[in-house]
Amino acid sequence: MTHISTFPVQISVRVVAAVCAFIICLRKIGDFDYWTHLAIGRAFWKSGSIFINEPFVLSRLESPLLNVEWLFQLFLYPLHAIGSDAAVSLVIAFFGAVSIYILSAVLPKNIGMGTGMVACAYLTATAMVAQFRFVPRPEAAACVLLAGALMLSHSWCRGPDRRKLFALAALFAIWVPLHITWTLGAVFVTSVILSRPNPAFWRDQMATPAGRIFIATLVLVLMPAWYHIFLFALQVLTYVKPGKLLAGVTEMRPLWEFPELMLPCGTVALAGLGCSWGARDGRVGRLFLWCLAAAAALMVARNAAMALLAMVPGALIGLSAHDRWLSGRLTRMVAVLSLLLMIGLVTCSVRDRETPWGIGVDWLLFPRDAAWFVKQHSASAKVFNNWDCGGYLAWAWEGQPPTFLDGRLGTPEIVAEHDAVVDGLDPAATLEKYGLTTVLLQPLYYNSGRIVPALYWLLAQPEWSLVRASDALVFMRHPLPPGLISLSAVDAWRAMARHFNLLAQGMPDRPHLIYSRAVAAYFSGDLLAAQELVKEGARLHPELMEAYRPLMPFAVI
């Protein structure tokens, strides 16, 4: 009778946690790589094949497209075509909800109200921190597959049979062409299965010819898979070394370099650790998986979301061991505190300005007007663009004109040439080498608020003219196309206000932002505003003062 009466608690927890995850993950699209995936998906569908030559990027137009995420791209484009960007936002939020719902299946059916509320609060906190990877990228769908794989592996530990292993194999067969995170999933799943190896099952398999064939097939599949995982890990470790291809990619840096992510991630992970301790039975396996997940998150920041999700089953299993205590005399207090925590987490998430809540696209981030302008006036030109906005340009231009780089990494040489322009190190060399006659520049580094040095260089070159100053700055080399006129440098600095407002709304803590505003005010002719902004900058970030002295006269500083 107790089992029947308390059964709805488990279902309620799963549903409420999933609804909270959906609300938390429902975001306006601000991910730069979204457009790259969308553009590639369109190219696949239009060509009728995933084996096509590179359609977008200037430096590799003759090379084959590397089809490592084609399954997601084939899914994304028709979704967008049918339901627009709003449908994409909704589906990504749905992925977050489904991931949480699947992972919470490890909760016992007869769980008490107190334990259920604590579990619900923990799941909500996990969704809130993991939300930064629930964007229109393949990882969002991969999280659903991770949840399914973990549940299958835990189910196999409770009652091993071949069908569950076949289901795992089928799941990974979908995951491999979806995203490289299948390697991380394989590590987590293997950890769960090894925690309860069930030797009797394997002895039974060896006793029959069909079982021996099954084991031989399993070995033939696992050996190359793990060899690939080993090679991939070595490749990543090589690429993230200083000066290498991934060294400058923010999301590939260690987690401890990002205090704003490290703190919430660490808090939820420690909560998961405390819950995972739980009952003695299976504790070693749960803690081992937690350590693997924690290590994956610490080494690479982008792994943090999947790592937190991987900790969930062990945490919920461990938490269930305290059901009698949490659902006894303390039930009401535990339930109220958990409910208040959930409401606070969801409210804070919805009010987060850095990733606006809602559906559709956050158009403040993407150069719609500048892309249209270049398409109208320079469709046959060779264009240089910032790396970040390249994906949107690939979507908007469909390869005419080609972009210089998009969200995908080019060769180390191309990345270095891109950086030489954007960072103002040797822009002329790259622009001359590729015969680039148009530059579409997003003038701020959004991660710091610093003005892109290429802007100073371009404004100082007599052979280059500013011809558009809107959501990005467009420069063209002389002679200008018929009908276009040169704008003044003041127009460029005044256009910066849009970009400053964008950062001030969503990312006001960027250290260079106030100095960048001072520079723009100074070159726009508003000396008084520049002086006030520099004073404020000296108060907030005095360590940056010296870097800005060469840009403005000493009297301003």
- Calculate mean pLDDT across residues 213-228: 81
State the pLDDT at residue 242. 58
What is the crossing angle of helices 70-103 and 2-25, to 10°? 140
Instruction: Give the C-alpha separation, 34 to 55, whole Å.
Output: 17
Q: Strand, coil or helix: what is 451?
A: strand
Is the per-residue pLDDT at 208 higher than 70?
A: yes
Which helix (DSSP H) or strand (DSSP E) does residue 338 occupy? Answer: helix 331-350
Average pLDDT, the chain: 87
More confident residue, 77 or 59: 77
State the pLDDT at residue 4. 37
Q: Give the side-chain half-sphere CA count within 13 A for 549.
A: 7
What percent of the chain has pLDDT above 90?
50
Instruction: Give the C-alpha separation, 303 to 280, whole Å.
Output: 29
Tell me the C-alpha to C-alpha distance, in Å, between residue 258 and each of 248, 262, 297, 525, 550.
14, 6, 12, 37, 30
Instruction: Give the C-alpha separation, 355 to 30, whole Å.
Output: 7
Q: In sequence order, what are the residues at sequence separation of 6 or more whose Cβ sits closer than 8 angstroms to the Cβ of residue 52?
A: 43, 44, 64, 65
Q: Strand, coil or helix: what is 19?
A: helix
> Which of 37-41, 90-94, 201-205, 383-387 has the least mean pLDDT?
201-205
pLDDT, one tens digit per residue, over 20-53 is: 999 999 999 999 999 999 999 999 999 999 888 8
State the pLDDT at residue 90. 97
More confident residue, 284 or 249: 284
State the pLDDT at residue 292. 93
pLDDT, one tens digit per residue, over 428-449 is: 999 999 999 999 999 988 878 8
DSSP H helical ranges for 240-302 = 259-277, 283-299
Which helix (DSSP H) or strand (DSSP E) does residue 476 occupy? Answer: strand 473-477
Determine contact, residues 448/511, Cβ cutoff 8 Å. Answer: yes
- Calculate mean pLDDT across residues 79-86: 96
Q: Which residues are registered as beta bridge partners of 383?
A: 438
- Using only C-alpha atoms, the chain has a radius of gyration, in whole angstroms, of 26
State the pLDDT at residue 502. 74
Among residues 554, 498, 552, which one has the least CA distance to residue 526? 552
What pTM, to 2 d.p., does this model score? 0.88
State the pLDDT at residue 233. 67
pLDDT, one tens digit per residue, over 128-163 is: 999 999 999 999 999 999 999 999 999 999 889 889
Backbone angles phi, psi at 556, to 5 degrees: -70, -40
Is the per-residue pLDDT at 244 higher than 60?
A: no
State the pLDDT at residue 251. 66
pLDDT, one tens digit per residue, over 368-379 is: 999 999 999 877
pLDDT, one tens digit per residue, over 222-239 is: 787 777 777 766 666 665
Instruction: Give the C-alpha separation, 97 to 107, whole Å.
Output: 16
